[in-house]
Amino acid sequence: MSDVRDSSREIRRAARAERRSERTGLAGALILIGIGILVITGWWWPGIMVVLGVAFAAERLVAGRVVDAVVVLAIFLGIPVAISLMTSIDIPWGWVVGLVLIGVGGAGAVRALAREK
């Protein structure tokens, strides 16, 4: 009985990996399109954050995770807005942004590791 459960678990895991790779293809395509637009316009900052936010949000939207898509887009659009505000009121944005990015990345890593168990 354990062998049947293990094999069905492996089949589900392989199917999830395949769906994930298909979505990654969408994100990769959107990133390339966005970078092409940035090269033409020269709008690198905050354009790169907009490109990444749209690509990662689209990936989640296609997977049916609407709330995750909105959160990702809000984060990637919120970062340049927060930097603009910090710059205008003379807060050392390098440290703040660095710590925020480390925190978000750490939270994402913990979430991904927790999902794998």
- pLDDT tens digits, one per residue of 44-100: 988 999 999 999 999 999 988 999 999 999 999 988 887 777 778 877 767 777 888
Q: According to the model, what pLDDT value does residue 32 have?
A: 94
Name the CA dihedral angle for 58, 63, 67, 70, rounded to a multiple of 10 degrees. Answer: 0
CA-based torsion, 16, 24, 57, 116: positive or negative: positive
**Helix, strand, coil percent values for the chain (each to nearest 5):** 90, 0, 10
Q: According to the model, what pLDDT value does residue 96 have?
A: 76
Over residues 30-42, the pLDDT tens digits come to 999 999 999 999 9
| CA nearest neighbour of 85 among 75, 77, 94, 93 | 93
Read off the amino acid at residue 14: A
42 conformational bin, left if phi > 0, alpha if psi -120 to 50, beta if neither = left
- Of the two residues 14 and 50, the one the predictor is more confident about is 50
| Res. 5 pLDDT band, cuts 50 70 90 | low
